Structure 1
Protein backbone atom coordinates (compact mmCIF):
# COMPACT_ATOMS: atom_id res chain seq x y z
CA UNK A 1 0.00 0.00 0.00
CA UNK A 2 1.25 3.45 -0.91
CA UNK A 3 0.90 6.15 1.75
CA UNK A 4 0.79 9.83 0.78
CA UNK A 5 1.88 12.26 3.49
CA UNK A 6 1.39 16.02 2.94
CA UNK A 7 3.87 18.17 4.91
CA UNK A 8 4.06 21.92 5.41
CA UNK A 9 6.98 24.30 5.92
CA UNK A 10 6.25 26.61 8.87
CA UNK A 11 8.11 28.77 11.36
CA UNK A 12 9.93 26.55 13.82
CA UNK A 13 7.82 26.10 16.96
CA UNK A 14 10.75 27.20 19.16
CA UNK A 15 10.99 30.60 17.46
CA UNK A 16 9.28 33.66 18.91
CA UNK A 17 6.99 34.95 16.18
CA UNK A 18 7.20 38.64 15.23
CA UNK A 19 4.30 40.56 13.71
CA UNK A 20 5.06 42.94 10.84
CA UNK A 21 4.90 46.64 11.75
CA UNK A 22 1.97 47.18 9.35
CA UNK A 23 0.11 44.21 10.94
CA UNK A 24 -0.41 42.52 7.58
CA UNK A 25 1.11 39.24 8.72
CA UNK A 26 4.03 37.53 10.40
CA UNK A 27 7.63 38.53 9.67
CA UNK A 28 9.39 35.61 7.94
CA UNK A 29 12.69 37.36 7.23
CA UNK A 30 15.72 35.50 8.65
CA UNK A 31 13.44 33.16 10.63
CA UNK A 32 14.19 29.46 11.11
CA UNK A 33 11.67 27.30 9.26
CA UNK A 34 10.96 23.62 9.84
CA UNK A 35 8.36 20.92 9.29
CA UNK A 36 5.00 21.46 10.93
CA UNK A 37 4.99 19.31 14.12
CA UNK A 38 1.73 17.52 13.26
CA UNK A 39 3.08 16.73 9.79
CA UNK A 40 6.18 15.29 11.45
CA UNK A 41 3.95 12.98 13.49
CA UNK A 42 2.18 11.86 10.29
CA UNK A 43 5.54 11.07 8.64
CA UNK A 44 6.63 9.07 11.68
CA UNK A 45 3.41 7.04 11.64
CA UNK A 46 3.81 6.32 7.92
CA UNK A 47 7.38 5.13 8.51
CA UNK A 48 6.17 2.85 11.30
CA UNK A 49 3.55 1.39 8.95
CA UNK A 50 6.31 0.64 6.46
CA UNK A 51 8.46 -0.95 9.15
CA UNK A 52 5.52 -3.23 10.00
CA UNK A 53 5.21 -4.24 6.36
CA UNK A 54 1.84 -2.51 5.94
CA UNK A 55 3.05 0.32 3.70
CA UNK A 56 5.13 -0.42 0.60
CA UNK A 57 5.99 3.17 -0.32
CA UNK A 58 5.81 6.56 1.40
CA UNK A 59 5.42 9.61 -0.82
CA UNK A 60 5.75 13.03 0.81
CA UNK A 61 4.18 16.07 -0.85
CA UNK A 62 4.64 19.72 0.04
CA UNK A 63 3.03 22.83 -1.45
CA UNK A 64 4.98 26.08 -1.27
CA UNK A 65 8.18 27.81 -2.39
CA UNK A 66 11.35 26.09 -3.58
CA UNK A 67 12.66 26.18 0.01
CA UNK A 68 10.02 23.58 0.90
CA UNK A 69 12.45 21.03 -0.55
CA UNK A 70 14.25 21.23 2.82
CA UNK A 71 11.06 20.09 4.56
CA UNK A 72 10.70 17.20 2.11
CA UNK A 73 14.34 16.23 2.68
CA UNK A 74 13.67 16.06 6.41
CA UNK A 75 10.81 13.62 5.78
CA UNK A 76 13.01 11.59 3.44
CA UNK A 77 15.69 11.41 6.13
CA UNK A 78 13.06 10.08 8.55
CA UNK A 79 12.29 7.21 6.19
CA UNK A 80 10.03 8.40 3.36
CA UNK A 81 10.87 7.06 -0.11
CA UNK A 82 10.05 9.88 -2.50
CA UNK A 83 9.07 13.53 -2.51
CA UNK A 84 6.73 15.70 -4.58
CA UNK A 85 7.02 19.49 -4.50
CA UNK A 86 4.15 21.58 -5.83
CA UNK A 87 5.71 25.03 -6.20
CA UNK A 88 3.72 28.16 -5.50
CA UNK A 89 4.92 31.70 -4.85
CA UNK A 90 1.65 32.70 -3.18
CA UNK A 91 0.36 31.55 0.19
CA UNK A 92 -2.27 28.97 -0.74
CA UNK A 93 -5.48 28.73 1.26
CA UNK A 94 -6.87 25.48 2.74
CA UNK A 95 -9.37 24.82 -0.06
CA UNK A 96 -6.69 25.43 -2.69
CA UNK A 97 -4.34 23.06 -0.85
CA UNK A 98 -7.06 20.40 -0.76
CA UNK A 99 -7.67 20.78 -4.50
CA UNK A 100 -3.96 20.51 -5.28
CA UNK A 101 -3.67 17.44 -3.06
CA UNK A 102 -6.64 15.91 -4.85
CA UNK A 103 -4.73 16.28 -8.12
CA UNK A 104 -1.63 14.68 -6.58
CA UNK A 105 -3.76 11.81 -5.23
CA UNK A 106 -5.11 11.24 -8.74
CA UNK A 107 -1.52 10.91 -10.01
CA UNK A 108 -0.12 8.81 -7.16
CA UNK A 109 -3.16 6.61 -6.37
CA UNK A 110 -2.30 6.06 -2.67
CA UNK A 111 -4.19 3.68 -0.42
CA UNK A 112 -4.01 6.13 2.48
CA UNK A 113 -3.52 9.87 2.91
CA UNK A 114 -1.98 10.46 6.33
CA UNK A 115 -1.51 14.09 7.37
CA UNK A 116 -1.25 16.37 10.37
CA UNK A 117 -4.54 17.61 11.76
CA UNK A 118 -3.49 21.27 11.37
CA UNK A 119 -0.56 23.59 10.74
CA UNK A 120 0.72 25.71 13.61
CA UNK A 121 0.85 28.88 11.49
CA UNK A 122 -2.77 29.24 10.37
CA UNK A 123 -4.38 26.70 12.75
CA UNK A 124 -7.14 26.21 10.18
CA UNK A 125 -7.59 22.47 10.73
CA UNK A 126 -9.47 22.21 7.44
CA UNK A 127 -7.40 20.59 4.68
CA UNK A 128 -7.92 16.98 5.76
CA UNK A 129 -11.69 17.34 5.93
CA UNK A 130 -11.85 19.25 2.63
CA UNK A 131 -9.66 16.69 0.87
CA UNK A 132 -11.87 13.86 2.11
CA UNK A 133 -14.95 15.62 0.76
CA UNK A 134 -13.34 16.34 -2.62
CA UNK A 135 -12.16 12.73 -2.98
CA UNK A 136 -15.39 11.29 -1.52
CA UNK A 137 -13.22 9.15 0.78
CA UNK A 138 -13.87 8.17 4.40
CA UNK A 139 -12.07 10.30 6.97
CA UNK A 140 -10.92 10.07 10.57
CA UNK A 141 -9.55 13.15 12.30
CA UNK A 142 -7.45 13.63 15.48
CA UNK A 143 -6.06 10.09 15.33
CA UNK A 144 -4.26 9.03 18.52
CA UNK A 145 -3.87 5.42 17.33
CA UNK A 146 -3.90 3.87 13.87
CA UNK A 147 -4.13 0.21 12.89
CA UNK A 148 -4.26 -1.12 9.32
CA UNK A 149 -5.51 -4.62 8.50
CA UNK A 150 -6.22 -5.54 4.90
CA UNK A 151 -8.47 -2.94 3.31
CA UNK A 152 -9.63 -1.57 6.67
CA UNK A 153 -8.20 1.11 8.96
CA UNK A 154 -9.07 1.29 12.64
CA UNK A 155 -8.57 4.75 14.13
CA UNK A 156 -8.81 5.68 17.80
CA UNK A 157 -9.46 9.35 18.51
CA UNK A 158 -9.86 11.40 21.66
CA UNK A 159 -13.28 12.97 22.21
CA UNK A 160 -14.86 14.79 25.14
CA UNK A 161 -16.35 11.59 26.51
CA UNK A 162 -13.15 9.54 26.28
CA UNK A 163 -11.93 7.50 23.31
CA UNK A 164 -13.79 6.81 20.08
CA UNK A 165 -12.78 4.03 17.66
CA UNK A 166 -13.69 4.24 13.99
CA UNK A 167 -13.31 1.63 11.25
CA UNK A 168 -12.74 2.97 7.75
CA UNK A 169 -12.67 1.40 4.32
CA UNK A 170 -9.47 2.20 2.46
CA UNK A 171 -8.57 4.40 0.67
CA UNK A 172 -9.19 7.02 3.33
CA UNK A 173 -7.91 10.29 4.79
CA UNK A 174 -6.56 10.23 8.36
CA UNK A 175 -5.28 13.27 10.27
CA UNK A 176 -2.78 12.85 13.10
CA UNK A 177 -3.15 14.22 16.61
CA UNK A 178 -0.36 15.05 19.06
CA UNK A 179 -0.44 11.74 20.94
CA UNK A 180 -0.29 9.45 17.93
CA UNK A 181 3.47 8.96 18.36
CA UNK A 182 6.82 10.56 19.19
CA UNK A 183 8.68 11.42 15.95
CA UNK A 184 12.22 10.11 15.59
CA UNK A 185 15.30 12.22 14.96
CA UNK A 186 16.85 11.78 11.55
CA UNK A 187 20.36 10.32 11.82
CA UNK A 188 23.28 11.87 9.96
CA UNK A 189 23.66 8.88 7.58
CA UNK A 190 19.95 9.09 6.73
CA UNK A 191 20.23 12.85 6.16
CA UNK A 192 23.03 12.20 3.68
CA UNK A 193 21.02 9.45 1.97
CA UNK A 194 18.00 11.76 1.73
CA UNK A 195 19.96 14.10 -0.52
CA UNK A 196 20.02 11.37 -3.16
CA UNK A 197 16.34 10.48 -2.97
CA UNK A 198 14.19 11.89 -5.80
CA UNK A 199 11.95 14.95 -5.50
CA UNK A 200 9.55 15.62 -8.37
CA UNK A 201 8.79 19.34 -8.80
CA UNK A 202 5.75 20.70 -10.56
CA UNK A 203 4.16 24.16 -10.57
CA UNK A 204 0.80 24.58 -8.87
CA UNK A 205 -0.48 26.33 -11.99
CA UNK A 206 0.02 23.12 -13.98
CA UNK A 207 -2.77 21.45 -11.98
CA UNK A 208 -5.33 24.00 -13.16
CA UNK A 209 -6.32 25.07 -9.63
CA UNK A 210 -7.47 28.67 -9.15
CA UNK A 211 -5.11 30.27 -6.61
CA UNK A 212 -6.62 33.78 -6.55
CA UNK A 213 -7.71 33.33 -2.94
CA UNK A 214 -11.02 33.80 -1.15
CA UNK A 215 -9.81 34.91 2.27
CA UNK A 216 -8.42 38.30 3.27
CA UNK A 217 -6.33 38.94 6.37
CA UNK A 218 -7.56 42.18 7.92
CA UNK A 219 -5.05 42.49 10.73
CA UNK A 220 -2.53 40.40 12.66
CA UNK A 221 -1.73 41.46 16.22
CA UNK A 222 0.28 40.07 19.09
CA UNK A 223 -1.61 38.74 22.12
CA UNK A 224 -1.86 41.20 25.04
CA UNK A 225 1.02 41.09 27.47
CA UNK A 226 0.31 39.34 30.73
CA UNK A 227 0.10 41.52 33.80
CA UNK A 228 1.98 40.66 36.96
CA UNK A 229 0.19 38.59 39.58
CA UNK A 230 -0.59 39.68 43.12
CA UNK A 231 -0.29 37.90 46.44
CA UNK A 232 -3.13 37.73 48.95
CA UNK A 233 -2.95 37.05 52.66
CA UNK A 234 -5.94 34.73 52.96
CA UNK A 235 -8.91 33.19 51.16
CA UNK A 236 -11.24 36.01 52.15
CA UNK A 237 -9.02 38.56 50.43
CA UNK A 238 -8.84 36.32 47.34
CA UNK A 239 -12.62 36.10 47.13
CA UNK A 240 -12.94 39.86 47.60
CA UNK A 241 -10.53 40.57 44.73
CA UNK A 242 -12.28 38.09 42.48
CA UNK A 243 -15.56 39.89 43.17
CA UNK A 244 -14.52 43.55 43.12
CA UNK A 245 -11.48 43.67 40.82
CA UNK A 246 -11.71 40.68 38.47
CA UNK A 247 -15.52 40.56 38.44
CA UNK A 248 -15.55 36.80 37.83
CA UNK A 249 -17.75 35.81 40.78
Structure 2
Protein backbone atom coordinates (compact mmCIF):
# COMPACT_ATOMS: atom_id res chain seq x y z
CA UNK A 1 0.00 0.00 0.00
CA UNK A 2 1.35 3.38 -1.02
CA UNK A 3 2.17 5.64 1.91
CA UNK A 4 -0.08 8.66 2.13
CA UNK A 5 1.78 11.96 2.23
CA UNK A 6 0.49 14.79 4.38
CA UNK A 7 0.97 18.48 3.71
CA UNK A 8 1.16 20.89 6.67
CA UNK A 9 -1.83 23.20 6.94
CA UNK A 10 -1.54 26.97 7.10
CA UNK A 11 -2.45 26.75 10.79
CA UNK A 12 0.35 24.24 11.39
CA UNK A 13 2.85 26.50 9.65
CA UNK A 14 1.73 29.57 11.60
CA UNK A 15 1.96 27.63 14.87
CA UNK A 16 5.49 26.46 14.04
CA UNK A 17 6.66 29.97 13.14
CA UNK A 18 5.19 31.40 16.34
CA UNK A 19 6.72 28.57 18.37
CA UNK A 20 10.17 29.23 16.92
CA UNK A 21 9.88 32.99 17.44
CA UNK A 22 8.74 32.58 21.04
CA UNK A 23 11.56 30.24 22.02
CA UNK A 24 14.13 32.22 20.02
CA UNK A 25 13.17 35.33 22.00
CA UNK A 26 13.52 33.49 25.32
CA UNK A 27 16.90 32.17 24.21
CA UNK A 28 18.05 35.67 23.27
CA UNK A 29 17.04 36.91 26.72
CA UNK A 30 18.99 34.04 28.30
CA UNK A 31 22.03 35.03 26.22
CA UNK A 32 21.78 38.67 27.26
CA UNK A 33 21.45 37.85 30.97
CA UNK A 34 24.29 35.32 30.88
CA UNK A 35 26.69 37.68 29.12
CA UNK A 36 25.98 40.50 31.53
CA UNK A 37 26.45 38.29 34.61
CA UNK A 38 29.44 36.29 33.34
CA UNK A 39 31.38 39.35 32.19
CA UNK A 40 31.10 41.49 35.31
CA UNK A 41 34.57 42.93 35.89
CA UNK A 42 35.82 42.06 32.41
CA UNK A 43 36.97 44.55 29.80
CA UNK A 44 33.84 46.26 28.41
CA UNK A 45 35.03 45.80 24.83
CA UNK A 46 34.61 42.02 25.18
CA UNK A 47 30.96 42.43 26.17
CA UNK A 48 30.44 44.86 23.29
CA UNK A 49 31.93 42.45 20.74
CA UNK A 50 29.93 39.49 22.07
CA UNK A 51 26.64 41.37 22.08
CA UNK A 52 27.35 42.57 18.54
CA UNK A 53 27.94 39.02 17.34
CA UNK A 54 25.09 37.34 19.24
CA UNK A 55 22.11 39.62 19.70
CA UNK A 56 19.48 40.60 17.13
CA UNK A 57 20.67 38.23 14.44
CA UNK A 58 20.64 34.62 13.35
CA UNK A 59 17.90 32.06 12.93
CA UNK A 60 18.46 30.39 16.34
CA UNK A 61 18.13 27.01 14.63
CA UNK A 62 20.40 25.22 17.07
CA UNK A 63 18.82 26.54 20.30
CA UNK A 64 15.32 25.77 19.02
CA UNK A 65 16.38 22.22 18.09
CA UNK A 66 17.82 21.72 21.58
CA UNK A 67 14.58 22.99 23.16
CA UNK A 68 12.41 20.85 20.89
CA UNK A 69 14.49 17.74 21.61
CA UNK A 70 14.27 18.28 25.34
CA UNK A 71 10.53 18.95 25.32
CA UNK A 72 9.93 15.98 23.04
CA UNK A 73 11.51 13.76 25.69
CA UNK A 74 9.27 15.11 28.44
CA UNK A 75 11.21 18.01 29.94
CA UNK A 76 9.21 21.06 30.95
CA UNK A 77 10.48 24.55 30.22
CA UNK A 78 12.83 26.06 32.79
CA UNK A 79 15.40 28.85 32.76
CA UNK A 80 18.28 26.39 32.54
CA UNK A 81 16.83 24.83 29.39
CA UNK A 82 17.10 28.20 27.64
CA UNK A 83 20.60 28.74 29.02
CA UNK A 84 21.59 25.30 27.71
CA UNK A 85 20.04 26.18 24.35
CA UNK A 86 22.04 29.42 24.35
CA UNK A 87 25.30 27.48 24.61
CA UNK A 88 24.81 26.09 21.12
CA UNK A 89 24.38 29.60 19.78
CA UNK A 90 27.64 30.50 21.56
CA UNK A 91 29.46 27.64 19.86
CA UNK A 92 27.92 28.45 16.48
CA UNK A 93 28.63 32.18 16.74
CA UNK A 94 32.20 31.58 17.90
CA UNK A 95 32.77 29.28 14.94
CA UNK A 96 31.33 31.85 12.53
CA UNK A 97 33.60 34.56 13.94
CA UNK A 98 36.63 32.34 13.38
CA UNK A 99 35.32 31.36 9.91
CA UNK A 100 35.12 35.02 8.95
CA UNK A 101 38.74 35.51 10.04
CA UNK A 102 39.81 32.54 7.88
CA UNK A 103 37.68 33.64 4.90
CA UNK A 104 38.44 37.38 5.21
CA UNK A 105 34.66 37.92 5.20
CA UNK A 106 33.43 41.48 5.57
CA UNK A 107 29.72 40.78 6.07
CA UNK A 108 27.74 38.50 8.35
CA UNK A 109 23.98 38.48 8.98
CA UNK A 110 23.42 41.68 7.06
CA UNK A 111 26.05 43.77 8.84
CA UNK A 112 29.83 44.05 9.14
CA UNK A 113 31.50 40.89 10.37
CA UNK A 114 33.17 41.00 13.78
CA UNK A 115 36.62 40.81 12.20
CA UNK A 116 35.82 43.72 9.86
CA UNK A 117 34.40 45.89 12.65
CA UNK A 118 36.73 45.06 15.55
CA UNK A 119 39.84 43.54 13.99
CA UNK A 120 41.48 40.12 13.93
CA UNK A 121 42.67 40.02 17.55
CA UNK A 122 39.29 40.92 19.03
CA UNK A 123 37.52 38.47 16.71
CA UNK A 124 39.76 35.52 17.62
CA UNK A 125 39.56 36.25 21.34
CA UNK A 126 35.77 36.67 21.29
CA UNK A 127 35.40 33.36 19.46
CA UNK A 128 37.67 31.68 22.01
CA UNK A 129 35.55 33.05 24.89
CA UNK A 130 32.34 31.76 23.30
CA UNK A 131 33.78 28.27 22.86
CA UNK A 132 35.04 28.21 26.46
CA UNK A 133 31.72 29.47 27.85
CA UNK A 134 29.83 26.86 25.85
CA UNK A 135 31.92 24.03 27.28
CA UNK A 136 31.56 25.33 30.83
CA UNK A 137 27.78 25.63 30.62
CA UNK A 138 27.22 22.30 28.88
CA UNK A 139 29.33 20.55 31.52
CA UNK A 140 27.40 22.30 34.30
CA UNK A 141 23.92 21.70 32.88
CA UNK A 142 24.26 18.39 31.00
CA UNK A 143 27.07 16.70 32.92
CA UNK A 144 30.12 14.83 31.71
CA UNK A 145 28.23 12.97 28.99
CA UNK A 146 26.93 16.22 27.52
CA UNK A 147 30.43 17.69 27.65
CA UNK A 148 31.88 14.63 25.91
CA UNK A 149 29.28 14.93 23.13
CA UNK A 150 29.94 18.62 22.45
CA UNK A 151 33.74 18.21 22.67
CA UNK A 152 33.70 15.34 20.17
CA UNK A 153 31.52 17.39 17.82
CA UNK A 154 33.83 20.40 18.14
CA UNK A 155 36.88 18.28 17.35
CA UNK A 156 35.06 16.93 14.29
CA UNK A 157 34.27 20.50 13.21
CA UNK A 158 37.96 21.44 13.33
CA UNK A 159 38.82 18.32 11.32
CA UNK A 160 36.18 19.35 8.79
CA UNK A 161 37.76 22.79 8.46
CA UNK A 162 41.15 21.19 7.78
CA UNK A 163 39.60 18.88 5.18
CA UNK A 164 38.02 21.92 3.55
CA UNK A 165 41.43 23.62 3.41
CA UNK A 166 42.85 20.48 1.79
CA UNK A 167 40.09 20.37 -0.84
CA UNK A 168 40.01 24.12 -1.51
CA UNK A 169 40.16 25.10 -5.20
CA UNK A 170 40.33 21.43 -6.19
CA UNK A 171 37.85 20.80 -9.04
CA UNK A 172 38.39 17.04 -8.71
CA UNK A 173 36.81 16.84 -5.25
CA UNK A 174 34.34 13.97 -5.17
CA UNK A 175 30.83 13.89 -3.78
CA UNK A 176 32.05 11.58 -1.03
CA UNK A 177 34.77 14.05 -0.04
CA UNK A 178 32.28 16.92 -0.06
CA UNK A 179 29.95 15.07 2.30
CA UNK A 180 32.84 14.12 4.57
CA UNK A 181 33.44 17.85 5.07
CA UNK A 182 29.74 18.62 5.56
CA UNK A 183 29.34 15.85 8.12
CA UNK A 184 32.25 17.06 10.24
CA UNK A 185 31.97 20.80 9.73
CA UNK A 186 28.23 21.26 10.26
CA UNK A 187 26.19 18.11 10.80
CA UNK A 188 27.99 16.77 13.86
CA UNK A 189 27.37 19.96 15.83
CA UNK A 190 23.67 20.04 15.01
CA UNK A 191 23.51 16.35 15.86
CA UNK A 192 25.14 17.12 19.22
CA UNK A 193 22.62 19.91 19.81
CA UNK A 194 19.70 17.50 19.47
CA UNK A 195 21.41 14.75 21.44
CA UNK A 196 22.27 17.00 24.38
CA UNK A 197 18.77 18.47 24.34
CA UNK A 198 17.43 14.92 24.59
CA UNK A 199 19.91 14.12 27.37
CA UNK A 200 18.72 17.15 29.33
CA UNK A 201 15.15 15.95 28.78
CA UNK A 202 16.01 12.63 30.49
CA UNK A 203 15.68 10.65 27.25
CA UNK A 204 16.74 7.02 27.15
CA UNK A 205 19.66 5.94 24.96
CA UNK A 206 17.42 4.96 22.04
CA UNK A 207 15.74 8.37 22.02
CA UNK A 208 19.10 10.15 22.28
CA UNK A 209 20.50 8.22 19.31
CA UNK A 210 17.37 8.82 17.23
CA UNK A 211 17.47 12.58 17.83
CA UNK A 212 21.22 12.63 17.17
CA UNK A 213 20.58 11.01 13.77
CA UNK A 214 17.79 13.48 13.08
CA UNK A 215 20.08 16.41 13.88
CA UNK A 216 22.77 14.99 11.61
CA UNK A 217 20.36 14.83 8.66
CA UNK A 218 19.11 18.36 9.36
CA UNK A 219 22.72 19.55 9.49
CA UNK A 220 23.61 17.98 6.15
CA UNK A 221 20.55 19.50 4.49
CA UNK A 222 21.25 22.89 6.04
CA UNK A 223 24.86 22.96 4.78
CA UNK A 224 23.85 21.94 1.25
CA UNK A 225 21.36 24.82 1.15
CA UNK A 226 23.97 27.23 2.56
CA UNK A 227 26.47 26.18 -0.11
CA UNK A 228 23.89 26.62 -2.87
CA UNK A 229 23.03 30.09 -1.56
CA UNK A 230 26.70 31.04 -1.87
CA UNK A 231 26.31 30.55 -5.63
CA UNK A 232 22.71 31.67 -6.08
CA UNK A 233 21.77 33.76 -3.05
CA UNK A 234 20.77 37.40 -2.88
CA UNK A 235 23.18 39.35 -0.67
CA UNK A 236 20.29 41.37 0.76
CA UNK A 237 18.58 38.16 1.89
CA UNK A 238 21.60 36.12 3.01
CA UNK A 239 23.54 38.94 4.65
CA UNK A 240 26.84 37.99 3.01
CA UNK A 241 28.48 38.39 -0.38
CA UNK A 242 27.49 35.73 -2.91
CA UNK A 243 30.51 33.71 -3.98
CA UNK A 244 32.71 34.61 -1.01
CA UNK A 245 32.82 31.04 0.32
CA UNK A 246 33.56 29.80 -3.20
CA UNK A 247 36.44 32.25 -3.65
CA UNK A 248 37.91 31.10 -0.32
CA UNK A 249 37.55 27.45 -1.33
Q: Same fold (TM over 0.5)?
A: no
- Report the TM-score when normalising by structure 1: 0.25
The structure whose residues are more often helix, as a share, is 2
More strand, by proportion: 1
